[in-house]
Amino acid sequence: MANYPAKIIWTRDGAVFTDKKYSRGHSWEFDGGAKVRASSSPHSVPRHSDPTGVDPEEAFVASLSSCHMLTFVWIAAKKGFIVDSYIDNADGTMEKIADNRFAMTVVTLKPKVVFSGDKRPTAAEIEEMHHQAHEECYIANSVKTDVRCEPVL
């Protein structure tokens, strides 16, 4: 078993607060020293979000994409393929679900992978590696969201 700590820090900074006009800007700190500027999504709280911050919805999409990528390149290396680059223009869709609640219902990964070397995978092998990466991705295995992968070949 492993533990993954994250420290989330927000302060009121003198705002009235009860008028609901306080800043949603905050920070995320991680055990390796990384600090990330974060905020609510401007889609949720337009006037009080920090557009320069990463919102939880974007982080959710990035987390799924990053996990898939890390798993994919590991699988490719195991199979003897050389990956030069991996770029994913991932996208998440937030929709209203039952009981008037919202959820990230679909995350679509669109990875474009560039290979080099003498041994290059076929399109079928690339599709299979993406399938295996999806099956083994820790984050995808942890959520109910429909996570789709549409490799750009």
Walk me through the domains of the chain, giving residue ranges and CATH numbers: 1-54 (no CATH), 56-149 (3.30.300.20)
Bridge pairing between strands 146-149 and 26-30: unpaired
What digits encode the pLDDT tens for the residues 41-52? 998 888 889 989
DSSP secondary-structure letter at 118?
S
Q: Say how far apart CA 94 and CA 97 lie, in whole Å.
A: 9
pTM: 0.91
Strand partners, 149: 109
CA angle 41, 88, 140 (to 5 degrees): 70
pLDDT one-digit tens code per residue, 109-122: 999 999 999 999 99
